[in-house]
C-alpha cells in the first residue's frame, strides 16, 4: 500500500493539516486509513463541507487515538476487578446455598445440574447443552487449573476461575431467585432488580469486549438494554437519568466504580481528559460524547 498517497489524499482532498507526516504514517499503519477516517475523525470533521475543520491537524487525531486507548486501559482494569468480584460473589453464594463446598460437577447428570439451577427453565434462549459445555470450555487451558489432570477433578469453585464473563452471566440467570437476591445485595444493588441484572451485566460485557478487540471507546453509546441499565444506574447513583436514553461511557465507568467501591474508571477518565490536547471545539465535542450530552 502506498501510504504517501493516502497522506497526500487526506491532506489535499480532505484538507487535514499534516504536522509530522512520519509520525502520522506510524499511526496509519497501526489503525489504517479507513479506520482513522471513520472512527477518529468525528470531532474534527465538517460534514457540510466533507473536509476537516481548518483548526484541526494530524497531531490532534493522534492525541485522540492515544486518549481513547488510554481510557480503554483504565476502564478494562475496572472491568476486570468488577468481573472478579462478580464471579467470586456468584460462586460463593451458590456453593453456600447448596452446601457444595469442594463438589465436582463434571460427572453430574443433566437432571442433577438442573436441580441446582432451577431458573434455567425460564431461560428460553439458553441451550442447556451449550451452556453446560461453556462451564468447562476453558478449563483445560486455564493457568489457574493447570495442576488438575482431569476435568472431573476440578472443584466447582476453582472451575469458575476459568469462566468467561458471558458464562458467569448466564450462570447467574439459572440460579434460584433467593441466590440472585443475595448476589445483588453483596454488590450493593437493590434486590428488586434480579430479573434485569443480567441485562445490565451484558452492557459491561459489551464494553469489555470492545476494548479487548481494539474497538473505539470514547464515543461509545448503546441503546441495547438501555432501559434496564438506566433503571439500575439511577437507583444506585441517585440519578434522574431518563430510562430510554442511550448509555454513554461515563455511566458505564460510574457503575463499575460503584460496584468495585473504587474510582479506577472515573479517575482514569478524568485524568486523560485533563491531559487531552485538542482545539476547544473538538475537546468539547469529545466531552459531550463521553457524557452523553448529544
pLDDT in tens, 203-256: 999 999 999 999 999 999 999 999 999 999 999 987 776 888 999 999 999 999
Domain presence at residue 291:
no
Cell of 135: 462451564
Same domain, 259 and 114: yes
Predicted TM-score (pTM) of this structure: 0.94
* DSSP helix/strand/coil, 155: coil
Q: How many domains does the chain have?
A: 2
Distance CA 94, CA 285 (A): 46
Distances (CA, A) of 241 to 48, 230, 257: 32, 7, 18
β-strands 45-46, 221-222: how paired?
unpaired
Domain presence at residue 288:
no
Same domain, 161 and 39: no
Same domain, 189 and 244: yes
Distances (CA, A) of 167 to 74, 81, 137, 139, 206: 24, 17, 10, 12, 14
Beta strands in 17-125 (DSSP E): 45-46, 51-52
Q: Which domain holds residue 130?
A: 70-272
Same domain, 151 and 18: no
Same domain, 99 and 59: no
Domain presence at residue 208:
yes
**Is residue 278's pLDDT more than 80?**
yes
Among 21, 45, 68, residue at a domain's last position: 68
Same domain, 25 and 150: no
Same domain, 186 and 268: yes
CA torsion sign for 234, 239, 240, 241 is negative
Same domain, 25 and 166: no
Same domain, 145 and 215: yes
Burial class from Cβ neighbours inside 10 Å (0-12, 13-18, 19+) for residue 172 reads buried
**Residues near 206 by Cβ (< 8 Å), separated by ≥ 6?**
222, 224
Same domain, 86 and 144: yes
**Is residue 200's pLDDT more than 80?**
yes
Among 20, 46, 68, residue at a domain's last position: 68
Share of the chain above pLDDT 90, in %: 84
Domain presence at residue 277:
no
Domain presence at residue 231:
yes
**Residues near 272 by Cβ (< 8 Å), separated by ≥ 6?**
67, 70, 71, 74
Domain presence at residue 285:
no
* pLDDT category of residue 142 using cuts at 50, 70 and 90: confident
Domain presence at residue 166:
yes
Domain presence at residue 280:
no
Same domain, 148 and 238: yes
Element (H, E) at 284: helix 280-290
Averaged pLDDT for residues 105-127: 94
Averaged pLDDT for residues 255-278: 97
Residue ranges in 141-279 assigned as alpha helix (H): 156-159, 165-174, 177-186, 197-212, 226-237, 249-260, 264-274
Is the model more confident about 239 or about 57?
57
**Is residue 1's pLDDT more than 70?**
no
Among 11, 37, 68, residue at a domain's last position: 68
Same domain, 143 and 172: yes
Amino acid at each position: 500500500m502506498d501510504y504517501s498517497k493516502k497522506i497526500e489524499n487526506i491532506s489535499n482532498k480532505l484538507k487535514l493539516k499534516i504536522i509530522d507526516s512520519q509520525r502520522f504514517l506510524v499511526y496509519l499503519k497501526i489503525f489504517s486509513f479507513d479506520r482513522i477516517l471513520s472512527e477518529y475523525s468525528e470531532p474534527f470533521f465538517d460534514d457540510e463541507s466533507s473536509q476537516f475543520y481548518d483548526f484541526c491537524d494530524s497531531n490532534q487525531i493522534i492525541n485522540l487515538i492515544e486518549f481513547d486507548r488510554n481510557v480503554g486501559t483504565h476502564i478494562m482494569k475496572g472491568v476486570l476487578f468488577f468481573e472478579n468480584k462478580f464471579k467470586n460473589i456468584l460462586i460463593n453464594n451458590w456453593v453456600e446455598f447448596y452446601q457444595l463446598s469442594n463438589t465436582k460437577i463434571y460427572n453430574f447428570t443433566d437432571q442433577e445440574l438442573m436441580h441446582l439451577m432451577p431458573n434455567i427453565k425460564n431461560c428460553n434462549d439458553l441451550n442447556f447443552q451449550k451452556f453446560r459445555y461453556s462451564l468447562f470450555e476453558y478449563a483445560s487451558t486455564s493457568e489457574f487449573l493447570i495442576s488438575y489432570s482431569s476435568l472431573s477433578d476440578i472443584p466447582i469453585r476453582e472451575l469458575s476461575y476459568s469462566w468467561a464473563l458471558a458464562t458467569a452471566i448466564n450462570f447467574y440467570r439459572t440460579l434460584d431467585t433467593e441466590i440472585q437476591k443475595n448476589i445483588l445485595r453483596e454488590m450493593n444493588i437493590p434486590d428488586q432488580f434480579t430479573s434485569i441484572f443480567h441485562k445490565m451485566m451484558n452492557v459491561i460485557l459489551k464494553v469489555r469486549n470492545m476494548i479487548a478487540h481494539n474497538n473505539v471507546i470514547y464515543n461509545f453509546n448503546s441503546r441495547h438494554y438501555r432501559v434496564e441499565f438506566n433503571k439500575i444506574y439511577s437507583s444506585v447513583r441517585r440519578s434522574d437519568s431518563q430510562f430510554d436514553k442511550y448509555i454513554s461511557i461515563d455511566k458505564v465507568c460510574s457503575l463499575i466504580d460503584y460496584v468495585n467501591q473504587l474510582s479506577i474508571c472515573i479517575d482514569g477518565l478524568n485524568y486523560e481528559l485533563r491531559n487531552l490536547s485538542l482545539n476547544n471545539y473538538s475537546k468539547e465535542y469529545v466531552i459531550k460524547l463521553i457524557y452523553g450530552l448529544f
